[in-house]
Amino acid sequence: MGLKGAQRRFCVMAGFSAVLAAAFYIFLYAPQWEELQTKEAEASELRRVMAEAAAFRKNHPDPVKEQSRAEARKRLVTGLLPSRLEQGAFLTETEKRAAAVGVKLLGILPGDGAEMGGVVRAPVRLSVRGEFFSLLDFLYSLEQRGRFVKIDAVRGKTDDVGVFTGTVELWIYARSL
């Protein structure tokens, strides 16, 4: 029974292994494969729905958020464009800023305001003296003070020790009423 018995055992084991493999495929692998395909289809549908929802939110923004954004923009514009020119307050603040950064104001010549496109604008000419970097600090502080100021021109010359003497022409703006 040696060789025939071994062959028979091998055939029985091979048959048993084939039955186990078929049972595994039928009862475990096939149902899991179908479930996986179903889950992938659901995930694909969910991604499509999420993309549609994102597109809808983009095209139909939240009215409460839009209202708060509009109010923030209005506060910003109100700050940048006050209701009156307030040249005196602007010039006083300009003198303080010049002194703070080491620029000497030799003269200030404000001009008359004129309405243009829904805003009133007025020219201001400043005669200044100071070192280059101090002057840059001063010009930067004019632009950063929370009010719209347009620096139109800076004209002048620098002497041998690096002190600039010249004029700064700028415009200040306000809303026209």
- CB count in 10 Å sphere of residue 139: 20
Q: Which of 6-10, 76-80, 103-107, 109-113 has the highest mean pLDDT?
A: 103-107
Give the whole-number percent of the chain exceeding pLDDT 70: 96
Indicate the pTM of the whole model: 0.56
- The type of residue at 19 is V
β-bridge pairing 114-116 and 163-175: unpaired
172 pairs with which residues across the strands? 122, 149
What's the helix, strand, coil split of the chain in %, to 5? Answer: 60, 25, 15
- The domain spans of the chain are 1-60, 82-175
Structure tokens at 126: 């400043």
pLDDT digits (tens, 9 = 90+) for 5-38: 888 999 999 999 999 989 888 888 888 899 989 9
Using a 10 angstrom Cβ sphere, with 0-12 exposed, 13-18 middle and 19 or more buried, the burial of residue 154 is middle
pLDDT digits (tens, 9 = 90+) for 144-160: 877 788 999 999 999 88
pLDDT digits (tens, 9 = 90+) for 81-107: 676 778 888 889 899 999 999 999 999
Nearest to 128 by CA among 158, 104, 151: 104
- Does domain 82-175 sit in CATH 3.40.718.10? no
